[in-house]
Structure 1
Amino acid sequence: MAGVSSSSILLPTTRVLSLRDIAVDRDGHPALRGVDAEAHAGRLLAVTGANGSGKSTLLEVAAGLLTPHRGAVDLRPGIRIALVPQSTPLAAHLPLNVTDIVAMGTWGRLGTWRPARRVDRDLVVDAIGTVDLADLARRPVGTLSGGQRQRALLAQALVQRADLVLLDEPMAGLDSRSRAVIATTIGHLTATGSAVIAVTHDIAEFTAVDDVLELQDGRVVRAS
């Protein structure tokens, strides 16, 4: 495993995010109904449930992309968040390779298009190695498989050195090799202090899950 790690100095199990009584309506229909959830440093929270149960909506609230109609979002001050969406086809005509995509994770510290420092270049190289894409570092992103693209996006999150990492169906439809690499990388994230929330249909995809939140019709039906 390469040397990318969270820069978090949070103690293990420190609460980084608390959602209380979250309610969200979409197009006049309730997407979340009084949901409570917490994320802690060094732990993986798996959010599961059927399609339409509210999993992705919960992730959007956690990321600050969606304001709930009711409830409180309590984010620990100074927390850095990385959101990794589902693997999607990236435009093949864009002049970007794997290294370019991963390096975007440094922009929050450097600013867009500013020259990278040596330490940031090293982080990019380490992150690419961590997700087993070193041999494809100069490969145009548009030529990658879905699994390779998802691994590149996860490497981008590694470079951000986020305290809270949000993953939306990170292994959906991927090949077995990519699923294994992603599961190992998620374990690396929690081991180095990041809190991780992952939306999934199958908890068994992960090598270890610390907490489970199961949703049904926008309500919590199981929390453990």
Structure 2
Amino acid sequence: MTDSPLLLDTTRVLTVHDVHVVRDGHVALRGIDAVAHAGRLLAVVGANGSGKSTLLEVAAGLLVPSRGEVRRREGLRIAFVPQTTALPAHLPLTVTDIVAMGMWGRLGAWRRARRADRAAVADAVDAVGLRPHAARRIGALSGGQRQRALLAQALVQRADLVLLDEPMAGLDARSREIIAGTIGRLTADGAAVIVVTHDLGELHGADEVLTLHEGRAA
């Protein structure tokens, strides 16, 4: 895997070229090409087991491909938002605590937040419609509310690349609407956003679509 600032298109933040991934003896991705552009939404669509989440892990740098190349813009800041099931409901943290964790990359885990930092966290909580729940523990929220809290965390990270794994799966209409609006805010602010989904209809106006079938681009 190679990280390189030498991308021909200056709007590219991530380029995946001819990527193959073998996991536990199974070929999960076969020769995949993908590009993420600043200010644009890339939807990765496919059935369960098609390789969508594997591609997201490769993009995040959590998984090294068996073959192929991954190039990232120099200094790229990445926010990875897993499915809400990845957030333990028993964590003794409030919505504000979870969102404030998005500041750690800039402040460090133990550095005291400034007034502007606290205001940014409050703004992100408000942006995802969770102001009335800001002081509630994460385990007291619905699945949709927890997913919105994770997305608010990505907002305060000010990431260049935001990776979302099935952010609307199984959620109520209100949460889906808010998440779609937040994705729009992220791209409007210049972030490249990659969303994994099994239903393209969940997204409003994806700029590019990559459909996967059994690890291949369909």
Matched, 1:195 2:179: no
The alignment status of 1:175 with 2:168, answered yes or no, reads: no
When residues 87 and 13 of structure 1 are mapped into structure 2, their CA distance, relative to the original with a 3 A threshold, is farther
Select which of 97, 102, 115 maps to 2:94: 97
2:113 to 113, 116, 131: 116
Q: Which residue of 2 aligns with 1:186?
A: 183
Aligned to 1:158: 155
- Give, in whole Å, the separation in 2 of the partners of 1:33 and 1:89: 26
Taking only aligned residues, the RMSD between alpha carbons, in angstroms, comes to 1.3
SS across alignment from 1:88: helix
How far 1:91 moved relative to its partner? 4.0
1:84-125: CA deviation from partner (whole Å, max 9, x where unpaired): 000117444432100000000000011112211122111100
- Structure 1 window deviating more from structure 2 (110-119 vs 55-64): it is 110-119
Aligned mates of 2:176, 2:116 — CA distance in 1: 29
Deviations 1:99-158 (A, max 9, x none): 000000000011112211122111100000100001100011110000000000000000
What is the alpha-carbon distance in structure 2 between the residues aligned to residue 214 and residue 92 of structure 1? 32
| TM-score of the pair, normalised by structure 2 | 0.94
% identical equivalent positions? 71
Q: 1:216 — aligned with what?
A: 213
Match of residue 49, structure 1, among 31, 34, 46? 46
**Which residue is equivalent to 1:79?**
76
Does 2:23 correspond to 1:26? yes
- Whole-Å Cα distance in 2 between the matches of residues 40 and 13 of structure 1? 9
Distance, in Å, in 2 between the alignment partners of 1:49 and 1:207 is 17
Residue ranges of structure 2 left out of the alignment (5+ in a row): 1-8
Q: Is the 8 A contact 1:33 1:218 kept in 2?
A: yes
Contact kept, 8 Å, 1:31 with 1:53, in 2: the verdict is yes
Q: In structure 1, what is the Cα distance between the partners aligned to 2:95 and 2:136?
A: 6
When structure 1 is superposed on structure 2, of 12-21 and 166-175 the one drifting more is 12-21
Count of residue correspondences: 210
Alpha carbons of structure 1 residues 83 and 142: separation in structure 2 relative to 1, 3 Å: same
Residues 13 and 149 of structure 1: CA distance in aligned 2, closer, same or farther (over 3 Å): farther
Deviates more, 1:61-70 or 1:110-119: 110-119
Deviation at 1:202, TM superposition (A): 1.0
Alignment deviations for residues 40-86 of structure 1 (CA, whole Å, 9 cap, x no partner)? 00100000011111000000000000000100000000110000000
| Structure 2 letter corresponding to 1:54 | G
**Which of the residues 134, 139, 148 maps onto 2:136?**
139
Q: Which one of 59, 64, 80 corresponds to residue 62 of structure 1? A: 59
Cα distance between partner residues in 2 of 1:35 and 1:95:
40
Amino acid at match of 2:55: L
Shift of 1:168: 0.2
Distance 1:92 1:200 in 2: 23
| Unmatched tracts of structure 1, length 5 or more | 1-11
Larger mean Cα displacement after TM superposition, 13-22 or 27-36 = 13-22
1:4 aligns with none
TM-score between the two structures when normalised by the length of structure 1? 0.91
